[in-house]
């Protein structure tokens, strides 16, 4: 029997914000945590050394993309995802359910699984609970996710209930397969079930209750940030964390902005991931202590004295000016994307470090209330 993955260390006296510890074979992760996204076995634009220097504690990789390229057997032959990408820390793999769901015209869903065509070459593939668990065994992530059917928004209660029934059926099949097929890289892998049910609280409750009977190592909340109003996302996340076990980690998948993270932490969420730090950096947008900065603006062309964020201590902000970053962006030089990505990821990771310190001191709510409007404003 595997040791427990998660240890709850403290809960705020003023909200549901929590301090916790996740212990894996590749290191300890302190929560609340933001996980940089390394979809293809790389955090886009930066190296594993950069990730380490940013003090990231865990990163996310994606089963769908690694399955298609280079193939999960290739990753297994390298000794697992850590050795493949030269990253010594913990890794979580998304099962690929969201990516398959997003293919829309290229996939067909049945009770058996999802038949889809590759977005790369049109080749046909079938994902089943067993095949997805097998792929994640080969990848060798420390935390692996259930194969789920992401409920679209909006959805009727009948549509969401059908989607939920598939997710629960596939979760049972996945756990049965994992029991019969142990890890292959010599260290434990922990399994997270995914709470679905759309924006229907009665279905979310049904999902939580069914998953609690199965007893996964942790719980993710899927089907959020798929087009619903932001307050609805917060409401559903808050509802789910009120039902979930206290002694298991809670993970909201694919969210979000810095202020989203603080709002979710306040509602009892421990883990988040999102591509926004990487994607927005490449689009000329960065997050700063003074708000959202669009550094490609013409007004920064001659600004050679100001970093992206005067309060930030990342490599980008201590060495380069807004004017130089704007030049790199306009010239389409990859260095600009790399430097702005380093800044955004440093900002997210440092924000989580601050959140943990404030939870420990029981000052999180006051600090978050001050930070959220500041983070949401446009920076000068």
Which residues are annotated as catalytic? 94, 273
What does the DSSP assignment read for 263-279?
Answer: HHHHTT--EEE-SHHHH
Residues sharing a CB contact under 8 Å with residue 72, sequence separation 6 or more, in sequence order: 63, 66, 134, 135, 136, 138, 139
Q: How far apart are CA 49 and CA 124, in angstroms?
A: 36
Q: Indicate if the alpha-carbon torsion angle 215, 166, 150, 175 is positive or negative.
A: positive
Of the candidates 272, 282, 283, 281, which has an alpha carbon nearest to the alpha carbon of residue 309? 281
Of the candidates 261, 250, 242, which has an alpha carbon nearest to the alpha carbon of residue 8? 250
Paired sense of beta strands 27-31 and 18-24, if any = antiparallel
Phi/psi at 182 (5° precision): -70, 170
Q: Which residues pair with 294 in a beta bridge?
A: 285
H-assigned helices in 78-229: 81-85, 97-102, 129-139, 157-180, 201-214
SS3 214: helix
Residue pointed to by tokens 């399994």: 191
Measured between alpha carbons, how far is residue 225 from residues 24, 35, 191, 202, 236 in Å? 28, 17, 23, 19, 11
Q: How far apart are CA 141 and CA 314, in angstroms?
A: 28
Instruction: Please count the residues of the chain.
Output: 380
């Amino acid at each position: 029997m595997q040791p427990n993955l998660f240890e709850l260390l403290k809960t705020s006296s003023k909200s549901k914000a929590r301090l916790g510890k996740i212990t894996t074979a590749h290191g300890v992760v302190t929560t609340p945590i933001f996980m940089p996204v390394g979809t293809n076995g790389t955090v886009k634009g930066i190296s594993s050394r950069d990730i380490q220097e940013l003090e990231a504690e865990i990163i996310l990789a994606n089963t769908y993309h690694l399955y298609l390229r280079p193939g999960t057997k290739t990753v297994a032959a390298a000794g697992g995802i850590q050795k493949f990408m030269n990253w010594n820390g913990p890794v979580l793999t998304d099962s690929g359910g969201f990516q398959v769901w997003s293919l829309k015209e290229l996939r067909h869903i049945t009770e058996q699984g999802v038949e889809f065509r590759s977005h790369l070459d049109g080749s046909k593939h079938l994902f089943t609970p067993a095949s997805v668990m097998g792929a994640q065994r080969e990848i060798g992530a420390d935390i692996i996710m259930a194969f789920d059917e992401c409920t679209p928004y909006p959805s009727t209660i009948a549509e969401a209930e059908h989607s939920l029934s598939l997710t629960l059926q596939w979760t049972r099949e996945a756990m049965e397969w994992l029991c019969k097929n142990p890890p292959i890289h010599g260290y434990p892998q922990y399994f997270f079930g995914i709470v679905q049910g759309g924006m229907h609280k009665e279905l979310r409750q049904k999902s939580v209750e069914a998953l609690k009977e199965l007893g996964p190592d942790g719980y993710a909340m899927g089907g959020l940030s798929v087009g619903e109003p932001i307050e609805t996302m917060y409401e559903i996340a808050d509802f789910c964390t009120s039902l979930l076990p206290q002694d298991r980690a809670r993970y909201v998948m694919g969210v979000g902005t810095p202020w989203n993270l603080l709002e979710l932490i306040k509602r009892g969420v421990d883990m988040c991931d999102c591509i926004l730090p990487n994607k927005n950096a490449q689009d000329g947008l960065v997050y700063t202590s003074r708000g959202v900065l669009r550094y490609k603006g013409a007004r920064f062309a001659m600004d050679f004295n100001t970093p992206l964020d005067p309060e930030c201590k990342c490599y980008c902000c201590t060495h380069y000016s807004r004017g130089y970053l704007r030049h790199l962006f306009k010239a389409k030089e990859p260095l600009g994307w790399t430097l702005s990505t380093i800044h955004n990821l440093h900002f997210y990771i440092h924000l989580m470090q601050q959140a943990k310190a404030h939870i420990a001191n029981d000052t999180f709510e006051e600090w978050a209330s001050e930070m959220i409007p500041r983070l949401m404003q446009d920076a000068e």
